[in-house]
Structure 1
Amino acid sequence: MTLFQELILISLGKREQFSRRLTDKDWGSIYTEAQRHSLVGILLTGVEQVVASGESRPKFLMQWIAMGLALEKRNRLLNVRCKEITKIFNGLGLCSCVLKGQGVAMLYPNPLRRQSGDIDLWVEGDRGDIYKILKARWNVGETVIHHAEVEIFKDTPTEIHFIPSFTYSPFLYRKYKKFFKRCADRQFANYDKTVGFAYPTPDFNAVYSLMHIFHHVLHEGIGLRQLLDYYYILKSLGKEQQLQVFEEMRYLGLAKFAEAVMYVEQRMFGLEPEFLLCKPDGKTGRRLLEEIELAGNFGKYDKRYQHVDRKSRMDVYLHNVKRNFVFFKFAPSEVLWAPIWKPCHFVWRKLKGYS
Structure 2
Amino acid sequence: MGLLRETEMQESLKDSPHHTHMKNDRAIDVEVHFRTSSGNYNPFATRQLLKYLDWEILNSVEVPEGFCAHSMKFALAMQLSHIYRHFIGGGVGLRQIVDYYVLLRHSSESERRELMANLNRFGLRKIAGALMWLLRESFGLDESLMLCKPDEFRGRWLLREILQGGNFGRHVGGGRLKWLYWWLGKRKKSLSYWRFDLAETFWAEVDYWKVFVENTSTRIRLRKISLRDVKF
The two structures have a TM-score, normalised by structure 1, of 0.55
Cα distance between partner residues in 1 of 2:204 and 2:3? 31
Which AA in structure 2 matches 1:275?
L
Cα distance between partner residues in 2 of 1:261 and 1:338? 20
Q: Does 1:267 align with 2:137?
A: yes
Q: Which residue of 1 aligns with 2:209?
A: 343
Which AA in structure 2 matches 1:236?
H
Larger radius of gyration: 1
Cα distance between partner residues in 1 of 2:198 and 2:176? 27
8 A contact 1:213–1:222 mirrored in 2: yes
8 A contact 2:11–2:20 mirrored in 1: yes
Q: Could you tell me how far 1:191 is from its partner in structure 2?
A: 1.9
CA pair 250-319 structure 1, distance change in 2 beyond 3 A: same
- Residues 190-229 of structure 1: pairs in structure 2 closer than 5 A: 190-192=61-63, 194-229=64-99
What runs of 5+ residues in structure 2 fail to find an aligned partner? 218-231
Q: Could you tell me how far 1:202 is from its partner in structure 2?
A: 1.2
Question: Which of 71, 94, 114 pairs up with 1:244?
Answer: 114
Q: Could you tell me how far 1:327 is from its partner in structure 2?
A: 2.6
Q: Does 1:140 align with 2:11?
A: yes
SS at match of 2:23: strand
Cα distance between partner residues in 2 of 1:214 and 1:205? 14
Which AA in structure 2 matches 1:322?
K
Q: Which residue of 1 aligns with 2:195?
A: 329
8 A contact 1:134–1:140 mirrored in 2: no
Q: Which residue of 2 aligns with 1:175?
A: 48
CA pair 303-336 structure 1, distance change in 2 beyond 3 A: same
String of CA shifts for 1:250-302, please: whole Å, max 9, x gaps.
21111111000011111121212221111211121111111111012331111
- Residues 100-111 of structure 1: pairs in structure 2 closer than 5 A: none
- Residues 80-91 of structure 1: pairs in structure 2 closer than 5 A: none
Cα distance between partner residues in 2 of 1:350 and 1:321? 18
String of CA shifts for 1:217-248, please: whole Å, max 9, x gaps.
11111111110000001111111111111122
SS at match of 2:195: coil
Which AA in structure 2 matches 1:148?
T
Q: Does 1:161 align with 2:20?
A: no
Count of aligned positions: 215
Identity of aligned residues (%): 28
- Residues 275-286 of structure 1: pairs in structure 2 closer than 5 A: 275-286=145-156
Cα distance between partner residues in 2 of 1:153 and 1:252? 40
CA pair 308-213 structure 1, distance change in 2 beyond 3 A: farther
Question: Which of 143, 151, 165 pairs up with 2:23?
Answer: 151
8 A contact 1:207–1:248 mirrored in 2: no
Cα distance between partner residues in 2 of 1:156 and 1:172? 35
Which AA in structure 2 matches 1:146?
H
8 A contact 1:321–1:338 mirrored in 2: no
The more displaced of 164-173 and 268-277 is 164-173
Which AA in structure 2 matches 1:251?
R
Which AA in structure 1 matches 2:11?
V
Cα distance between partner residues in 1 of 2:178 and 2:114? 42
Q: Which residue of 2 aligns with 1:23?
A: none
Which AA in structure 2 matches 1:343?
W
Q: Could you tell me how far 1:153 is from its partner in structure 2?
A: 11
CA pair 348-150 structure 1, distance change in 2 beyond 3 A: same
Which AA in structure 2 matches 1:224?
L
Which AA in structure 1 matches 2:79?
S
8 A contact 1:168–1:337 mirrored in 2: yes
String of CA shifts for 1:61-116, please: whole Å, max 9, x gaps.
xxxxxxxxxxxxxxxxxxxxxxxxxxxxxxxxxxxxxxxxxxxxxxxxxxxxxxxx
8 A contact 2:80–2:128 mirrored in 1: yes
Cα distance between partner residues in 2 of 1:243 and 1:265? 18
8 A contact 1:262–1:278 mirrored in 2: yes
